[in-house]
Each structure stands twice: as structure tokens, then as C-alpha cells.
A = this chain, B = another copy of it.
């Protein structure tokens, strides 16, 4: 019985131009391109083992076994991995017969962040599984990309460091739907400040939400065809020329537009809550007074990710502390990251944030 094992650490990513809507539900092919940066400090550390012989696939996340019969995506990824392996063996096997040995996967994953915090931890998790399987089965980058994507669409954007462009592709089989690192040089000065406002309210899941928007929004198609391609170019230009102001403008406009098409859905979908709006207004005020030095972006939930250059992080957090209550331990960690000291305001906070994280952006997976 042969046994292989790989351990990888993969960061979650946050889209600067958002993915919303699938052109193929099975293959998870998106209706539009998206572009993202990783959040280096929020990672899934994952060990993938492959076992030949008799057994069954198992997935353990943060010490809990995942019920695979009700989480079909893991099985889809494992099946596809074996299909890719068989295909390669057939190619290298002169008589064309495939071997018939059974394989099983064991996945043990630990995230350094609550899975339920609404911070796209599944993207990091599936990217880690895909990278682990890539090492074990010697898959190429595009095959690993495909594995990540069919696990969780945006997971394919966590496969690389730097600015990552997930191209929607045109082909029905999804072979040209891949995520690629898109600028030569990174921008290590970019930091994100994540504020978790999760209010426990039941939200519409991304898959269900995307389906509903695709079927009912009369603005989505225009966004896909006429807005997103231009914004992808603008982000690339701003990132490669390190023009923060232009980068920030597109990031905020695209976050707002994503939530706008959610609202243009029947029934309408709402992910932003009062705390999210408080933060939006805070950033707008900060930028009005200081020049554009912070950019908010919200995924399918109320939690904010604010992107700043490292030099502005201290000032922005100070502005946040005037009206937002931050857990003391998180404030201490943020201070250590920035070599600064933060003190909560003595005024009564308006909004409560349950977790703050500050992290550099754009790092890649690590083995």
C-alpha cells in the first residue's frame, strides 16, 4: 500500500472586481472575469494524503469530520483528480489500458480563522486541497486550477500570489477558464483591514444568490458585458503603476455595483447591514478629508475589507476607533503588525466589530 502526503498553507483571497453569476453550474464557470489579492494572514493549512487500496475519502476541517454525502463538492474534486490521473496514465501507457487501482483521499485542514465568519474560508480550503492533490498526482497548473474551481469557484484565485485574474473563458468544457497571476511585480505595501460585523442574520448563500440574480436582474448582463472588462483593465493598470487612488476608486465602485445587482434581483438580496454602511460612510469621509487613501470592499456578507497602503494603516485604524468598538486582543495584534500602539476611543462606540484583522496582501500558497 503506497502512501503520499503533502501539506500546504493557502491564503484566502478577496476580489477587487467581483465574481457574481455562473454560466455553468456544474463546472462552476463564471459569467464574468474577476480579479483578486490574497489576504496573507488568513490561511487554511491543509494536509492531503492519498491512499491506494480499500477505504473511503475523508475530510476533516478544524477537528470536525465533514459529512461528504451532504457536501458533494469534495467528492466532485476527488473524482475529477482521479479522472485526470487516469487520463495521464493512459497517455503514458502504450497499450492504452488504464490501471484499476482505487485511490482515496484524506484531507485534514485547519483554518486560522472561524469558518463561519463569512470570510470565504472555503476558497482557501479548496485551493489547498487542489494544490495538495497537484503535488501528489503531478498535475499541471491548469489542472490544479480546475480542481480548485470545481470545489469552490473563487478558490482558483488563491493558487498564486500577486494580482490574480480569473478569466471566465469561452469554451463549454471550461478549459480556458483559468486563474493566472497577472502582473510581474507585487505591491507589498498593500494591506487589508478586515472588520467582521457578522450579525448572525441568515443570508442568501452565494450559489443561490448568483442563480437568482442571473435569472432576474436586468442590470447584470450589462455589468458583465460592458463594465467588468474595463474595470479589470483599470485594476491591472493601477496595480502595475502603483496608483492607489485609481485602484481604490475601481475597488469601491465594483463592490457597490455587486451589491447593486443583488438589490436588482427578485426577490432582492441584501448583504450589507447598518454596520457595513457605517463603515462605508467612514471611509468616504476619511477619503474626503485625506485624499483617497482607503478602499472598502464587501463580499456576499456584511463584513468589510478595507485596503490601504501600509503608511496609512495607522491613521485609518485611528479613525475607525472613534466610532467602532474593536476587541482588545485584535487591536494588540494589529499594533504588533504595524509597530504602533492603538487605544480605543473613550467615546461610546456606534458600531460593534467582533473581529479585526490586519494583513499584508498578495502573498501566495506555501508548502
Q: Hey, which bits of chain A sit against chain B, CB under 8 A?
A: 216, 218-219, 222-223, 226-227, 249, 252-253, 256-257, 259-261, 263-268, 270, 273-274, 277, 280-281, 284
Contacts and interface: CB of A to CB of B under 8 A. Distances in A.
A222 to B, nearest CB: 4
Given A260-B261, A267-B280, 9 more contacts: A216-B253, A222-B226, A253-B266, A256-B263, A256-B265, A256-B266, A259-B263, A260-B263, A267-B281
12 contacts: A216-B253, A219-B219, A219-B222, A219-B223, A252-B266, A256-B265, A256-B268, A260-B260, A260-B261, A260-B264, A263-B263, A268-B280
Contacts of A284: 267
A211 B91 CA distance: 62
A280 B270 CA distance: 11
Tell me the dominant secondary structure on chain A's binding face: helix
Contacts of A280: 267-268
A274 B274 CA distance: 8
Contacts of A253: 216, 218, 264, 266
Contact of A266 (B223, B226, B249, B259): B249
A58 to B, nearest CB: 39
Query: Which are the 3 A-B pairs with shortest beta-carbon distances?
Result: A260-B264, A222-B222, A260-B260
Contacts of A219: 219, 222-223, 227, 257, 260
Nearest to A277: B270
A247 to B, nearest CB: 14
Nearest to A263: B260
